[in-house]
Structure 1
């Protein structure tokens, strides 16, 4: 048993979709969350800058005696996961592997669409992972750079979101994909809009949910779960507006953030 908290970080609010799943699947685990809201999005940055940010984010979380870190950001997982796993002794888990494995498992026609930030798509991380699992699967990737600002500003299910989503998703629809990996943790907030455009016959894979499931199995295997009956504590940190995070974060978690949110200077790390 291990009552130390799980550390989770993302470029902004998107990682809260993973936190929501952790709370649901592991209700006794404490969580420390950092959203790098002052530097969002990571998806448009160079690999060098993303890697620098990820090292800073991890160094900040290590102040809290955590037992495991989740990189709840598709871009950061795609670009920097291997580098930080080599540098730090603590277990560090990204969102790519479990989502790719689930997509390969459920696809019946072996045509999988991958949507993500420009950084995630350029990295080809999902494509490589799927090819490792099943080389016969065909993948079709599409960068959707406007999805993150839409979500961060609360445009989830309106005409603007639908118009943008239709523009991005039409090529995948033409390829008859039967599964789509929402390769950015912001995108599950657009699930209804994406499903309406693609049709109910297309399965949508949520990296946050799949990663939470993987983390649960990992902690069970390593005997690192919190003790039964442990009362979890949740702490939230950001690098920009506390008020905006509290308001939109409650939307992501589908419940009010009653804990105080603290602003920190991430550049010190």
Structure 2
């Protein structure tokens, strides 16, 4: 099926998932919608996150998507069950894939989780991890400064390192921790800085690779994979200012075939 896969996120963070989807599924056309105008979602109420997520989903359904990937941990935590129940297309999120990757990685059975306030408050990662293995120890930390930093394009350098060091100080006191989940898809854009701060002894887990593998498996199960040999054209939409969005997009997708478009969040109300 040549229909596109839809991907949604609160901003630019989900582009890390898109990058991995492109790598593992090069034939699949993708339509990405980042709600950069209303980002971050992590500090918003559950009701707001649900409303914004459904607005983005309805926009993508008009584009005739065959599958939905929620490339936002906060939106996954608050909406995935509702979306899976109400949509007649496959829907996957980023939390369960990230949890599985962390369980595979840890040797000490002590896992750290960093994410937005909403994701940490939901305890979605804790539930997902304990469902797989009930006797592991977990420590969670909300990092509200990270998403605005990424949305501004501050991905490395002295300012980024100073913010990461200050923010992660409480979690680094737990010496048994050997695995750290980046519980927000914005955070992989800071991965090098985070790894430098936490040290090589800690494995830093991004859910992007595991999410792409789950997407591939789901396409096969539902027999909706694209078998065309034509190079897909990807569409990236943002609701806010395009300048930084385009700069980050060009850094991540240097040689890919894509176009960047804008849609105002107010227009999502009318979809």
2:69/2:93 contact within 8 Å kept: yes
Mapped pair 1:182 → 2:144: no
Structure 1 CA distance for aligned equivalents of residues 169 and 205 of structure 2: 18
1:120/1:183 contact within 8 Å kept: yes
DSSP-derived class of the 2:52 partner: helix
2:234/2:257 contact within 8 Å kept: no
Mapped pair 1:140 → 2:139: yes
Structure 1 residues 253 and 174: CA distance shift in structure 2, 3 A: farther
> 1:166: how far off?
1.2
> 1:162: how far off?
1.1
Mapped pair 1:4 → 2:39: no
> 1:6: how far off?
0.3
> 1:254: how far off?
5.2
2:27/2:231 contact within 8 Å kept: yes
> 1:46: how far off?
0.2
Match of residue 85 from structure 1: 84
2:233/2:257 contact within 8 Å kept: no
**1:62-211 alignment, distance < 5 Å:** 62-176=61-175, 177-211=177-211
Q: Deviations over 1:173-207 (max 9, x none)?
A: 22121111101000001111111111112111112
TM-score calculated relative to the size of structure 1: 0.95
DSSP-derived class of the 2:169 partner: helix
Structure 2 CA distance for aligned equivalents of residues 82 and 205 of structure 1: 24
Structure 2 CA distance for aligned equivalents of residues 236 and 27 of structure 1: 16
CA RMSD of aligned residues (A): 1.5
Match of residue 268 from structure 2: 266
Structure 2 CA distance for aligned equivalents of residues 67 and 110 of structure 1: 38
1:42/1:50 contact within 8 Å kept: yes
1:29/1:230 contact within 8 Å kept: no
Q: Deviations over 1:62-100 (max 9, x none)?
A: 011111000100110011111221221111111000100
Structure 2 CA distance for aligned equivalents of residues 125 and 135 of structure 1: 14
Q: Which residues of structure 1 form unaligned runs of 5+? A: none
> 1:255: how far off?
5.3
Structure 2 CA distance for aligned equivalents of residues 123 and 3 of structure 1: 36
Structure 1 CA distance for aligned equivalents of residues 116 and 255 of structure 2: 27
TM-score calculated relative to the size of structure 2: 0.94
Match of residue 53 from structure 2: 54
**Count of residue pairs brought into register by the alignment:** 268
1:100/1:130 contact within 8 Å kept: yes
> 1:256: how far off?
7.2
Structure 1 residues 154 and 244: CA distance shift in structure 2, 3 A: closer
Structure 1 CA distance for aligned equivalents of residues 42 and 255 of structure 2: 27
Is the deviation greater in 183-192 or in 213-222? 213-222
Q: Deviations over 1:219-258 (max 9, x none)?
A: 1232221105232120121212233321222234455775
Is the deviation greater in 217-226 or in 141-150? 217-226
